[in-house]
A = this chain, B = another copy of it.
Amino acid sequence: MRERLYLFDTTLRDGQQTQGVQFSAAEKAQIARALDALGVDYIEGGWPGANPTDSDFFRDAPATRAIMTAFGMTKRVGRSAANDDVLAAVLDAGTPAVCLVGKTHDFHVITALGVTLEENREAIAASVAHVVAKGREALFDAEHFFDGYRANPEYALGCLRAAYDAGARWIVLCDTNGGTLPSEVSRITAEVIAAGIPGASLGIHCHDDTGNAVANSLAAVEAGARQIQGTLNGLGERCGNANLVTLIPTLTLKEPLASRLETGVTPIALAGLVKTSRMLDDILNRVPQRASPYVGASAFAHKAGLHASAILKDPATYEHIDPALVGNERQIPMSNQAGQSNLRARLAAAGLNVDPKDPRLALILDEIKRREDQGYAYDGAQASFEMLARGALGLAPRFFEVERYRVTAERRQLPDGRRLSLSEAVVVVDIGGQRMLSVSESRDGNGEDRGPVNALWKALAKDLGPWQGCVDDMRLVDFKVRITQGGTEAVTRVIIDSEDGQGRRWSTVGVSANIVDASFEALLDAVRWKLIRDIGLNAGKAA
């Protein structure tokens, strides 16, 4: 019979304390629904009253199976819990659970709060009792607990007992400064349980300041704690909170945890983990970290030639779990180290089956290496990789040629102080001997100037003769710019993601010192890839 392990997500509260992060109420609702679908047990939505957005969120919070939780702090000394307006605002959010943070490190009580140890302990007890009296589930976040326990274990434990005796459902040991190591977390958690707070009421809340947030969380659970607090993608102040996206697969798939403990995350929910992680990155407009455990794009990427050959024989040789369990996939990327087995696997994934003895394989490898030296990167631009290979294999119809283009970006300051921006592009293409000139400006429906690359795309896509229908079915959904050497004296790599009405999504790359030129190169690859998919090989003029 497995014991229940509870997951408490604080992406919307502690995660919001990350530098550069500010969720709108709508974004919080979106994240809350995703967390609920994932199967976490508690969603800490924010600090109502202290953050206006948080009050809004709680007012219209989505209905969830997860227990919606409001965060706050213990009452201030010198007034009763009922008369503390900050605490009242937290309770007014009407959530089923309330999590209050309070000091348990004597140094903080005296230096930061400026009150006596007894006053602080009484404030904890009174605040928790007040929450319980209001019919809510009470959680107590023991701030700076591990530092406090080392400095004055009696006092720190006294604070825990005050909260526990006042009726708190959960006592959460917080490594607030993030400096505690796993063996200490292990030892101290065990001592807390031995001192009388049952493991079934203990939670753990870690930060990653020494790179041990995940390990510290596991250590506490192994010592008997039964709640883990963390965030999606390890979001959080400084180095972040314990990363639930990293912890959940370990808890679900790795022994001995998987057979001893049970969370609320089902296998189906687990398979949605990559999507959930990317959703948060999208909202924050962050580039997903390729090396993230379990969900990173590189987490199952096997670059070394030896590894790739072994993987093709049996994935268990170099994979610790099946990537599909978390919604990820295996990758055999291109690189200097890639043997021809890597290349053939990647060509096969692109729908091009090449005989192992085909001498053009070596030519393709050399071309890729040459271009990567110039700044191209094919790992994130599979469609450009395919176009390059097709070129070498004689399977790349051109469909059209671009004779020239010109892009102009202008800005004027009007006499009344307003600024006027305008971008215009002219593209001249040749389709089977027929020259077509197209001009476009970059104004969108609101009259806003969207910039020179946008103008260029619109001009290119305006009149492609017989291919017009295919291009009309295409849209650009992402545009990543990278300077591969420092400064404006640099080579620019542009990666464009395109989608079409038939559910395809593909990435292409362009490189140039000139960002417009790099963008154009990526655009051309994107269009030609699409035309090959829609038209096939025969209609275009072969390379």
Contacts and interface: CB of A to CB of B under 8 A. Distances in A.
Interface string A503-542: 0000000001111110010000000000000000000000
A409 B486 contact: no
A109 to B, nearest CB: 11
A72 to B, nearest CB: 12
Given A336-B51, A449-B513, A177 B520 contact: no
**Copies per complex?**
2
A341 to B, nearest CB: 13
Contacts of A485: 285
A249 to B, nearest CB: 8
A378 to B, nearest CB: 10
A79 interface: no
Contact of A479 (B22, B304, B407, B483): B483
A238 to B, nearest CB: 6
A481 B478 contact: no
B453 A476 contact: no
Interface string A121-153: 000000000000000000000000000000000
A20 interface: yes
A112 interface: yes
Contacts of A27: none
Contacts of A30: none
A210 interface: yes
Given A178-B320, A406-B409, A487 B483 contact: no
A363 to B, nearest CB: 18
A183 to B, nearest CB: 6
A249 B319 CA distance: 30
Given A454-B488, A492-B451, A517 B112 contact: no
B492 A379 contact: no
A88 B380 CA distance: 37
A103 to B, nearest CB: 10
Given A238-B298, A285-B483, A303-B17, A488 B520 contact: no
Contacts of A449: 513-514, 517
A181 B218 contact: yes
Contacts of A234: 291
A1 to B, nearest CB: 22
A73 B512 CA distance: 40
A502 interface: no
B237 A307 contact: yes
Contacts of A406: 408-411
Contacts of A2: none
Interface string A283-302: 00101011111101011111
Interface string A202-221: 00000011111011101100
A409 B318 contact: no
A279 to B, nearest CB: 12
A333 interface: yes
A362 interface: no
A258 to B, nearest CB: 11
Contact of A408 (B336, B403, B408, B488): B408
A22 B336 contact: yes
A543 interface: no
Interface in A446-486: 448-454, 457, 476-486
A250 interface: yes
A238 B517 contact: no
Given A239-B293, A337-B17, A480-B483, A514 B450 contact: yes
A118 interface: no
Contact of A303 (B237, B313, B481): B237
A380 to B, nearest CB: 8
A416 interface: no
Contacts of A337: 17, 51
A317 interface: yes
5 contacts: A111-B317, A238-B299, A409-B516, A421-B517, A451-B513
Interface of A: 17-20, 22, 51, 107-108, 111-112, 176-179, 181-183, 208-212, 214-216, 218-219, 222, 234, 237-240, 243, 246-247, 249-250, 254, 257, 282, 285, 287, 289-294, 296, 298-304, 307, 310, 313-314, 316-321, 331, 333, 335-337, 372, 377, 379, 401-413, 421, 423, 442, 444, 448-454, 457, 476-490, 492, 512-517, 520
For the complex of A and B, 7 pairs with smallest distance between CB atoms = A179-B320, A215-B215, A451-B514, A211-B246, A211-B214, A404-B412, A481-B481
Given A18-B298, A238-B300, A238-B301, 11 more contacts: A19-B333, A51-B337, A112-B317, A176-B318, A210-B250, A211-B247, A215-B215, A404-B412, A409-B517, A451-B488, A481-B481
